[in-house]
Amino acid sequence: MKGKVKWFNKNKGYGFIITEDNKEYFVHWKSIVTNSPRDLKVLEQDEIVTFDLMETDKGTQAINIIRVNP
């Protein structure tokens, strides 16, 4: 799927991604894919990302998040 970062709190390590059809998905920093283990796992507001979805006990969550233009 493709979406845009609605907001992401770098200190707390989580935020939300919104899709073109206005569905919101929770994102945790552990689900962000980086090129190197040393890269910071953070997202910027309004950044375009691709991601997969996973059902959890707390609802649907974004995983495998890849920044389109890092």
Q: Is the pTM higher than 0.85?
A: yes
Q: How far apart are CA 70 and CA 40, in angstroms?
A: 11
Q: 12: pLDDT confidence band, cut at 50, 70 and 90?
A: very high
Residue 49, helix vs strand vs coil: strand
Side-chain-side CA neighbours of residue 30 (13 Å): 1
Q: How many domains does the chain have?
A: 1
For the domain that residue 28 is a member of, what is the CATH number? 2.40.50.140
| 41-60 pLDDT, tens digit each | 999 999 999 999 999 998 99
User: What residues pair up with 17 in beta bridges, in sequence order?
Assistant: 5, 25
| Termini Cα distance of the chain | 17
Question: Domain residues for 54?
Answer: 2-67
Residues 5-17, mean pLDDT to the nearest whole number:
97
Q: How far apart are CA 20 and CA 16, in angstroms?
A: 13
